[in-house]
Every structure is written in structure tokens, then in C-alpha cells.
């Protein structure tokens, strides 16, 4: 049975998240229905990351199996045709070995969080960046972020209802930089993340950027392993799953 890998881009604002749910329309459901419409088969789509409601993707990866063989370009174009008018696009589709698993075989996930700390409201970026209180000291945020690098117990920075078996994660990269257009970007990279981990970290870094916390306060919050020590969780609309890495 042929297995296919998809690379997906989507605006998460109109969905209840990646995963199928009873309370609304999910990205997974929309793509499964589009695959079924062109192939005539009912499929189950497996994603590399279960993005929450409102979270976007520039490089989500998923896989599914079909009973018939199609070329990758055919799969991409046919799924995109049936996805309209949803804000989801298949950027690429390729046949992969049977042991490829979009979630299990992933070696690294990359996230971007966009913060706009300008005083005027957002227009074109509304729903695609966090319009946060500012001005923010991005250099102080970057310095504080270094306290979170490496292997730690991230209990402070995970959702209270996180279902992961362990709060231990290894954060390979966490960088904060102000962009030429004025936005503050937070980039994070790890093999896997806890539920709300990136948004929790960004919300706490925001406190540093405002001068309400210093870098040591962030380090102390991590060591406390106490959800109550986390800053306010940043909203979903600024978060993007940008890429997922796999073995060569």
C-alpha cells in the first residue's frame, strides 16, 4: 500500500486545531476529506505536530496510505483542488517508504512566534501575529532565553492538561531577534515540545521584554517547576510550525 508524505501550509484561525475534534472543523479532517474526494478512499492522516486552534503552519508534515499509486504532483494538485476554499495548501507530496512516520520519525521541530509591539493596531497581520504591549527589549529577551536551553524539567512551561508522560525536554535553540520590519521573532527548535510550551515560554519572555522580569526571574521560574510561576500564556495567533526535520 503506497505511503505519501505531505508538506502543508495553513492559516489555523478558522480551525479547532490540527486534530479531529467533535467541537468543530479541524485541519486533519479537511485534508482527509480532500484526499477522499479525489481518490475515493477513506484515509487517516497522521501529522508531525498537533497544532492548537489558531496556530498556523508553514511546514507541517503528514503521511497517509492509499490503495493506488499516484504521482506526487497528481496528489498535490488533486488535494489542493478539493481543499478549496479552506486556507490550507499542500506544498509538496512525495511517495515515501512504509516505515516513514510523520510524527515518530521526526528528529526536530521548528517553531516561530511573531510579536508586533507597535502602538497602532494591526491590519494585514491581524490574526497572524500577537499585538503585544511594548516596547519590548528584544536583547534582554534573548539573554533570558539562554537560561532555557538544554535538557530541563519544563513543568512551569507546559499546559496544566498536558498529556505527555514526562515534562523533560531538550531545547536545542531559542532565539529572540527584532526584525527589520519591527516585529520581534522568537524561534525555537527541539525534537519535541510539550503542550503550550512555546506559547508559555513566549509569554514569560514578554515579561522580560517589558522589564517586569529580569533574565534570572525566568531561570528561577524554570527551576521552580511550578505552573503558577509561568507568565501569561501568549495567544495562538502568533505561533507557526515552520519545519520538521527527518533523518537523511
Q: Which of 11, 52, 153, 172 is catalytic?
A: 52
How confident is the model over 25-50, as a mean pLDDT? 96
Whole domain around residue 225: which residue ranges? 108-245
Residue 42 has pLDDT above 90, yes or no: yes
Q: Who contacts 11 (Cβ-Cβ below 8 Å, separation ≥6)?
A: 56, 87, 88, 127, 128
Instruction: Summarize pLDDT for 47-78 with one digit per residue, the tens.
Output: 999 999 999 999 999 999 999 999 999 999 99
Question: Is residue 220 a part of any domain in this protein?
Answer: yes
Question: Is residue 187 a part of any domain in this protein?
Answer: yes
Domain count of the chain? 2
The confidence score (pLDDT) of residue 180 equals 97
Q: What is the CATH number of the domain that holds 121?
A: 3.30.70.660
Question: Is residue 101 a part of any domain in this protein?
Answer: no
Do 230 and 135 share a structural domain? yes
Query: How many percent of the chain have pLDDT more than 70?
Result: 100
Do 127 and 53 share a structural domain? no
The confidence score (pLDDT) of residue 1 equals 83
Instruction: Summarize pLDDT for 168-215 with one digit per residue, the tens.
Output: 999 999 999 999 999 999 999 999 999 999 999 999 999 999 999 999
Instruction: Summarize pLDDT for 79-137 with one digit per residue, the tens.
Output: 999 999 999 999 999 999 999 999 999 999 999 999 999 999 999 999 999 999 999 99
The confidence score (pLDDT) of residue 248 equals 82
Do 241 and 122 share a structural domain? yes
- What is the model's pTM? 0.96
Question: Is residue 225 a part of any domain in this protein?
Answer: yes
Do 129 and 11 share a structural domain? no
The confidence score (pLDDT) of residue 139 equals 97
Residue 138 has pLDDT above 90, yes or no: yes
The confidence score (pLDDT) of residue 5 equals 98
With beta carbons less than 8 A apart as the criterion, state whether 37 and 45 touch.
no
Do 144 and 178 share a structural domain? yes
The confidence score (pLDDT) of residue 124 equals 95
Do 189 and 90 share a structural domain? no
Do 115 and 188 share a structural domain? yes
Instruction: Summarize pLDDT for 19-31 with one digit per residue, the tens.
Output: 999 899 999 999 9
Do 239 and 144 share a structural domain? yes
Distance CA 186, CA 173 (A): 10
Mean pLDDT across the chain = 97
With beta carbons less than 8 A apart as the criterion, state whether 150 and 172 touch.
no
Do 48 and 124 share a structural domain? no
Question: Is residue 142 a part of any domain in this protein?
Answer: yes
Burial of 123 (0-12, 13-18, 19+ CB in 10 A): exposed
Distance CA 64, CA 57 (A): 18
Q: Who contacts 175 (Cβ-Cβ below 8 Å, separation ≥6)?
A: 142, 145, 186, 187
Do 13 and 51 share a structural domain? yes
With beta carbons less than 8 A apart as the criterion, state whether 238 and 129 touch.
yes
Do 154 and 68 share a structural domain? no
**Active-site residue 65, yes or no?**
no
The pLDDT-based confidence of 161 (bands split at 50, 70, 90) is confident
Amino acid at each position: 500500500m503506497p505511503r505519501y508524505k505531505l508538506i502543508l501550509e495553513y492559516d489555523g484561525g478558522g480551525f479547532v486545531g490540527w486534530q479531529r475534534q467533535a467541537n468543530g472543523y479541524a485541519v486533519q479532517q479537511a485534508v482527509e476529506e480532500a484526499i477522499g474526494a479525489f481518490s475515493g478512499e477513506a484515509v487517516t492522516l497522521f501529522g508531525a505536530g498537533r497544532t492548537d486552534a489558531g496556530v498556523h503552519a508553514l511546514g507541517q508534515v503528514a503521511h497517509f496510505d492509499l490503495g493506488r499509486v499516484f504521482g506526487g504532483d497528481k496528489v498535490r494538485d488533486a488535494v489542493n483542488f478539493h481543499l478549496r476554499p479552506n486556507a490550507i495548501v499542500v506544498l509538496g507530496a512525495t511517495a515515501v517508504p512504509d516505515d516513514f512516520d510523520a510524527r515518530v520519525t521526526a528528529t526536530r521541530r521548528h517553531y516561530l512566534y511573531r510579536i508586533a509591539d507597535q502602538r497602532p493596531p494591526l491590519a494585514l497581520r491581524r490574526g497572524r501575529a500577537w499585538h503585544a504591549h511594548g516596547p519590548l527589549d528584544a536583547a534582554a529577551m534573548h539573554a533570558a532565553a539562554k537560561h532555557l536551553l538544554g535538557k530541563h524539567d519544563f513543568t512551569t512551561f507546559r499546559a496544566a492538561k498536558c498529556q505527555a508522560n514526562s515534562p523533560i525536554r531538550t531545547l536545542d535553540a531559542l532565539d529572540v531577534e527584532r526584525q527589520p520590519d519591527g516585529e520581534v521573532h522568537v524561534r525555537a527548535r527541539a525534537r519535541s515540545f510539550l503542550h503550550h510550551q512555546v506559547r508559555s515560554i513566549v509569554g514569560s519572555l514578554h515579561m522580560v521584554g517589558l522589564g517586569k522580569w529580569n533574565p534570572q526571574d525566568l531561570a528561577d521560574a524554570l527551576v521552580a517547576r511550578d505552573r503558577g510561576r509561568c507568565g501569561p500564556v501568549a495567544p495562538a495567533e502568533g505561533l507557526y510550525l515552520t519545519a520538521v526535520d527527518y533523518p537523511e
